[in-house]
Amino acid sequence: MKYSKVKNWKIHKTDEYKSWFAEQTAKEQLQIAGRLDNIEDEGYFGDHKFLTDVVWELKWLNGRRVYYAYIAELDIVLLLGGNKNGQGKDIKQAKKIFRKYAEI
């Protein structure tokens, strides 16, 4: 299936996201970075889903999740990462982080 590039996305990373990312293995970091490159370069998000009034998630088959939000002035803000097993707690935390960054 062909998709068209709608815009160039700029991705910003919260400190919480950076901490989570640093805990991932080198292989996982490469996979995540590749996905983010696809978003920035091609506008292609892959498997993603709207969760709440402000939080979206990027999904992987292995259960990994990266939570993000759209903020008009910043484009995309990566809020937090996690996996399917802790999703409820992670979404609540991502919403808190969003509120903190949305005030800036």
Query: Quick one: pLDDT at residue 104?
Result: 53
Rounded Cα–Cα distance for residues 78 and 73 (Å): 14
Residue 59 lies in a domain: yes
Is the pTM higher than 0.85? The answer reads: no
Residue 4 lies in a domain: no
Query: Quick one: pLDDT at residue 101?
Result: 80
Residue 76 lies in a domain: yes
Tens-digit pLDDT profile for residues 46-97: 999 999 888 999 999 999 999 999 887 768 889 999 999 999 999 999 999 9
Residue 83 lies in a domain: yes
* Residue carrying structure tokens 């939570």: 67
**Domain range holding 46?**
11-102
Rounded Cα–Cα distance for residues 15 and 70 (Å): 17
For the chain, how many structural domains are there in total? 1
CATH of the domain at 54: 3.30.2310.20
